[in-house]
Chain A
Amino acid sequence: MSERPVHIAAIGMITPLGRDAETTWRGLLDNRSAIGPLTRFAVPDQQPLPVGEAPDPGGDAALPRTHRLALAAARQAMRGAAGPPDAVVLGTTTGGMEASERQLRGGVDDCAAYRWHGLHTVSAAVAAAVGCSGPALTVSTACSSGTLALALALAMLRQGTAKTILAGGADSLCRLTYYGFHSLQLVDRQGCRPLDCHRHGMAVAEGAALLLLTTEPLESSLGELRGAGLSCDAYHPAAPHPEGRGALLAMRRALDDAGLAAEAIDYINLHGTGTPDNDAAEARALRQLFAVLPPLSSIKGALGHGLAAAGAVEAAVAALAVTHGLMPGNTGLQVLDKGLGLTPLTAASAGPVEAALSNSFGFGGNNGALVIAAPGAFPRRNAPPPAPHLTVWGYACLSGAGDTASTLAALGEGRSPAGAVPLERLAMDLPAAQLRRLKRLPRLVLALAGLAGGEGAAPGAIFAGSGWGGLSETHDFLQRLFQSAEQFPSPTDFVGSVHNGPAGQAAILCQADGPNVTMAGGEASFAEALLAAEHLYHGGERPALLVCADEGHPRFSPLFDPGTTGSGGLCDGGGALLLRRGGSEGLCTLRSLFHGSGGDDGLTRLAARLRAAPGPPWSLVLVDIPQRRRDDGQPRGLLRQAGIDAPLVDCRRLCGEFASAAAVAAVFAVAAFAGGVIPAGLVAEEAKSFDRSRGRMLLLGLGEKLTAVEFCAC
């Protein structure tokens, strides 16, 4: 059976070249560069570096700039839409950082001032503005975030999880990224010159692009999102693999996914950051894949590098190239680096574009490539058979009590495992040289990856979740920046501060070159990482690692995530599951039942979904409900409405207050299937026998967003 194509119904965009797609496109065709010296904030005692600043996005001045950029793009994309999208999938790396930096420097200690700090608040603001009550997901994989958001949206549309999705990326300039890339000596003082023999780096930029994607028939389509390919270099936290190993894998997988040969590609929009290493690695990968290279260009000499926005802007530009039969030039290029073996377009050129490839590569070796095709230009893809359920083959958790065994033992003895993970007591079977640069969160994630891995094949794909990312690195970067009067930012902390840093480290540890996706869903991060795995892990010989963790940081946790320092002090930890597709020997199956916005309507929809989920009777319900929303009536009322009569476990009373507490609770559920008993301390003082062949458990997330995950016998 052929598959319904995924069409681009509308594009919303705000970039340094203009406040909409049309002005941006005109600027690109004119070969104009919008890169100029930074004016958005003052840089003491320094010549401002060239950046790409977007025009004022307008909107509510109380919101951080990333949110306002995303909202401006969302409004444009939804203009003329018949109704709200079923889901929002947004890539971002900075979230509210630009505002938080100012407040932190000013010593603002009121946590209300940081309520828009979290990456997840950007997609939440967009979902609220466009009236979307379905999933509002946040992808954070550094410079490939926008591309990975589109790849996840494509998979959700193909699998019928949604019929229309608003997807893309947004980031605003902030000190963290401005000084961070500068500290890595990755910024070109002459502006950005991709593929030039004198290229010296990128220009950090900002912007947003959101694409309205749909499987519904359209009167006029702006192009088909035809394929996506994801990979991880599994090589270095910041530098690309010199041979472009991961870049090549991502492009190959995108072509395979699109069902097209390399010869079908008429135009390539390069990642082309203008850094010496990126352009060299990308060129090597391209020359391996294409016998004859089609016309190609990087638009980062015109727009700069909009980080999470870049992949979405470039996918939209690829779609415009397909629609108009025009390809933008490689703005900024003066003297071509002949050693690269590429011949970029020096100015906009006309020519039929039936299929275009768009590349994005990010820190963590995190790569994504997309194929955009003219509507109906190629035969429809054959629909793949439905994938078997995800099954769990291994598990691990970390809590204040220590590793999995210590955590379960504490539960059984009636002690609370909540607290800060005693990392120093955990034997980490890793060389000191690999650990020395890693702070708390990557150490938690590597420990979990090691503990869950067991003896079998190492995971080939990694799906990670973290509500708040590497707080220690972010804190230390900003502290040193401000203490040195903005003179001496730390390159190590900058690289460590990216949200997907820990998952990139895990990929190096496991040599996992498959998809590497980090979701930043606030307290829904575990459920979002699972959703990403369900849609982007295709099985095969190597299992996937689903890992979700958060660190407790004495200064940042209470500011950003109020409630985390409740009565029990600072808590952290996480959980990891080793997943495969199908197989009756697994411990249990795992699937998402619900993702949606909160509120009374949301609860009613969640209850209806639970009622309609067939299966054996529920044995146990684990509820993750943050302290600020704790109202004992809510989960009981919900379960009554859903017709569920099962013992209820309040995860955070057990595991402590932190965004990834649900991941620890998920491990409790899996441990019950593994042992055939509900561990002591969960619902009763004694361990309770449990028929694992008929058992079913539910993990509910009742925070700002509502999520439901089902664990069932294989």
Chain B
Amino acid sequence: MQQLIEELKVKLIDILNLQDVTPERFDEHARLVGGELGIDSIDVLEMVVMVEKDYGIVINNQEVGEKVFASLASLARYIEENSPKARS
């Protein structure tokens, strides 16, 4: 799990171009959307694409999406629970 969290920090900093954030300073429990990072609905969709591309998990329901993207930790948990490996 911690490994996945660290991996996601690097990915989010890259795809969302969070220039003034480092993986060390990225609090996985902080509010992800609408918080200090300025992450909004477009970024959420960019993350949806990444989750589908890199982890094979489709998120196309807004309510699910709100829970999943509450924090980086909740995103990691969702990926772990729903990865094709976990399901099989």
Which chain A residues have a beta carbon within 8 Å of chain B's beta carbons? 183-185, 236-239, 276, 431-434, 436-437, 484, 487-492, 495
Contact = CB atoms under 8 A, between A and B. Distances in A.
A491 B42 contact: yes
Contacts of B41: 236, 238-239
A436 B17 CA distance: 6
Given A432-B19, A436-B16, A436-B17, A491 B38 contact: no
B19 A436 contact: yes
Interface residues of B, number: 19
B48 interface: yes
A491 B16 CA distance: 11
A433 B37 contact: yes
A488 B62 CA distance: 19
Contacts of A487: 53
Nearest to A238: B42
Contacts of B38: 431, 433-434, 436
A490 B49 contact: yes
A47 to B, nearest CB: 13
A437 B19 CA distance: 10
A487 B49 CA distance: 9
Interface in B20-60: 20, 37-38, 40-43, 45-46, 48-49, 52-53, 60
Contacts of B37: 433
Among A238, A433, A484, A489, the one with the most B-chain Cβ atoms within 10 Å of its Cβ is A433
A197 to B, nearest CB: 14
Contacts of A431: 38
B18 interface: yes
B43 to A, nearest CB: 7
Contacts of A237: 42
7 contacts: A183-B45, A183-B49, A185-B60, A434-B38, A437-B17, A490-B46, A490-B49
Nearest to B36: A433
A491 B17 contact: no
A342 to B, nearest CB: 22
B53 A491 contact: no
Given A436-B16, A487-B53, A491-B45, 20 more contacts: A184-B45, A185-B48, A236-B40, A236-B41, A238-B41, A238-B42, A239-B41, A276-B62, A432-B19, A432-B20, A433-B37, A434-B38, A436-B17, A436-B38, A437-B16, A437-B17, A437-B43, A488-B52, A490-B46, A492-B45
Contacts of A236: 40-41
A484 B48 CA distance: 15
B19 A185 contact: no
Contacts of B19: 432, 436
Contacts of A437: 16-17, 42-43
A170 to B, nearest CB: 27
Contacts of B62: 185, 276
Nearest to B37: A433
A492 B46 contact: yes
Contacts of A491: 42, 45-46, 49
A489 B52 CA distance: 12
A433 B13 CA distance: 12
A183 B17 CA distance: 19
Interface in B65-82: none
Nearest to A480: B49
A488 B42 contact: no
